[in-house]
Amino acid sequence: MSRRWWLALLPVLALVCCVTGLAVGALAFSPLRERVMALLGLRPQILAAEMVPDDAIFYASLSYNLQAQPGYETIRRAYLENPEVQRVLEEWKDQLRKEAEIDFDADIAPWIGPEIGLALFPASPEELGAGRLPLVLLVASRDHGKADAFLERLRQLAEKEGGRVEDRAYRGRSYQLWISEGPQNPPLAIGRLGEFVVVAVTEEAFQRVADRAAGQGQSITTSPRFRKVIQALPAQSVMMVYLDYPALQKLSQEALPRLQPGAPDPESLLGPWASMAQAIQGAGFAVELQAQGLRLQSIAVIDRARVPQDLRASLDAPPISEALLGRIPENTLGFFQTARIGQSLRQSLEIIRRNPEARRQLQDMEATMGIRLEEDLLAWMTGDLILAALPVPAGAPSGIPVGVSLWIGTDQPEAARAGLARLEDALAMMGVQVEESTRVGQAVRIITAPTGERILAYTVDPEAMQMVFPADAFEGYYKPARAITGNPRFQEIRKQLPAQISSLFFLDTFALWDLIEEQIPGAEGATFREKARPFLDPIQGIGIAGEATTGAEIQRGVLFIRIVPSGS
């Protein structure tokens, strides 16, 4: 190319660079950036939230932009291409055509957009008592003409069923008011406001959304409480839920006496914990599609200054002992672990004893049994608690599908033995017998019912107290050669949970589905295998964990469902 051509192109290139720079700058420093990022699946879908007033009590958003999610391919192979799932979807569409005379593929699919929003507004006790729940559904439209045609189709169907439909207008926006018979069936307001089809349970709620569409008032996206919750959740999610907890608490306190006269006040049921609930400023959760499965993160925003000083320690969750996981057999069906159980129980006991009647009942129980709860039992519980469900080993009594093992960590084994001996004395008064035995080189105590049936076996070693049901399963459950930490499904799920966790729940569903099917007899078992297993089999593990924190404003929990498509 000659030099003359380059000189001629230079002004054009300079103009392109300037326009591109301005566009990038505008994208980076304007609300348009958030809109584009949301459409790409890199931000939560909160476009519908811009139509929601800032005093909304509840808001949820569902994104249809699944292709932007890292786990879309996993979901597609596990479910969207699953013949049984496709069959169920087709049956649902057929039912919709027959009962509602709506063809999803022809009437809805051509216009429905990438986002659905659901919002709940404040309401008076009188409105709630009359069934006027200010609930609003917002469905994004990508073809306004077809969306309007669908609304007209709904109108025809409503009139065909004998309903009355009135045309209304507000702020220059037309909508329909569907009026049903009976005071318990408030009118529905339906119309399209800009990019969204809006369905409101009350006309006032529809008009509040119309106000926002006209630029009146502030949206929920400007609420500091909403923004704090959203910013604490993962940016890339397919579903997001926000809850204004103080507003919900106020609504329930005002409405409950009217809806259920004589019902106890929620705060009286919570007792000392009511102040903890009042410190919750907001809550929410988000759902992500990961390459390995589905992850849900939930958070609560706590105003620690509103928590009484003597209760603040309960907000600080220490991490669990990873070492104690080595005591859980690899083939465990599921287990729950929580950190420092003795400390947690003592805190709960202190709170309970603030109630005079509860304190008296505890004192009577201790006197009757001859046990001091704190000195004889809680004092030696210095470690974690683990409760596990396991397959019953060979030789155990027939008819018991699942065994149970309990571990309580301790660094005071002698104190544990002494405290449990006092508990044995209390059980002896009820006819329960205890005998000494030796299993796998370990001194074991066998708890026997008055009928002579051996129920439990327990032992105390330098690391923990372990109790087993049934008693004959002790050998298979005590210090296994292969621990749960070597289970590949557990390993994959543990990677998706917080690094430091205060509580942990794990379910090995890969083995659980077979066990459930074995317990269902005859035709019911065949139905379970044919109808349920296609949906359940891709789910090969579930993990739930609370994050270990100290002094944090945000309390976080994570649920992860491991999904493995068939043939992977």
Give the CA angle between residues 352, 356, 359 to the nearest 5°.
55
Q: Could you please report the per-residue DSSP string of 81-98?
A: T-HHHHHHHHHHHHHHHH
The size of the chain, in residues, is 568
Query: What's the pLDDT at 70?
Result: 82
Phi-psi region of 271 (alpha: psi -120 to 50; beta: other; left: phi over 0): left
Q: How many CA atoms lie within 13 A of 393 on its CB side?
A: 17
Containing 443, the helix (H) or strand (E) segment is strand 442-448
Reduced DSSP (H G I as helix, E B as strand, rest coil) percent helix, strand, coil of the chain, to 5: 45, 25, 30
463-479 b/e with 16+ CB inside 10 Å = b? bbbbbbbbbbbbebbbe
Which residues neighbour 382 within 8 Å (Cβ) at sequence distance 6 or greater?
340, 342, 409, 410, 411, 412
Cβ atoms within 10 Å of 289's Cβ, excluding its own:
23
Report how far residue 503's alpha carbon sits from residue 490's, in angstroms, rounded to the nearest whole number: 15
Given a contact cutoff of 8 angstroms between Cβ atoms, the answer to whether 479 and 307 are in contact is no
483 secondary structure, DSSP code? B
Segments of 99-237 assigned E as strands: 112-120, 135-141, 164-170, 173-179, 188-193, 196-200
Amino acid at site 91? E
Handedness of CA 168, 174, 179, 184 (dihedral sign): negative
Phi/psi at 289 (5° precision)? -100, 110
Segments of 370-423 assigned E as strands: 385-391, 402-409
Query: What's the pLDDT at 199?
Result: 95
Report how far residue 333's alpha carbon sits from residue 476's, in angstroms, rounded to the nearest whole number: 14
Per DSSP, the three-state class of 515 is helix
Query: What's the pLDDT at 37?
Result: 45
Residue 233 in tokens? 């959740």
Given a contact cutoff of 8 angstroms between Cβ atoms, the answer to whether 456 and 450 are in contact is no
| 356-369 vs 341-352: helix crossing angle, rounded to 10 | 120
Query: What's the pLDDT at 486?
Result: 95
Query: What's the pLDDT at 308?
Result: 78
Report how far residue 525's alpha carbon sits from residue 157's, in angstroms, rounded to the nearest whole number: 42
Amino acid at site 145? G
Cross-strand partners of 198: 138, 191
Per DSSP, the three-state class of 461 is coil
Query: What's the pLDDT at 38?
Result: 47
Segments of 20-86 assigned E as strands: 58-63
C-alpha 528, offset from chain centre: 25
Amino acid at site 486? G
Amino acid at site 67? Q
Which residues neighbour 294 within 8 Å (Cβ) at sequence distance 6 or greater?
71, 75, 287, 288, 560, 561, 563
Query: What's the pLDDT at 229?
Result: 94
- Whole-angstrom distance between the N-terminal and C-terminal Cα of the chain? 53
Report how far residue 104's alpha carbon sits from residue 94's, in angstroms, rounded to the nearest whole number: 9
Mean pLDDT by 10 residues, the chain (568 residues): 32 33 35 44 68 95 81 88 87 91 92 94 81 90 94 88 88 88 74 94 94 93 94 90 90 73 65 75 93 94 83 80 92 95 87 84 91 93 96 74 94 96 90 90 91 91 95 91 94 94 94 88 88 90 93 92 86
pTM of the model: 0.84
CA neighbor of 464 nearest in space, from 501, 428, 420: 420
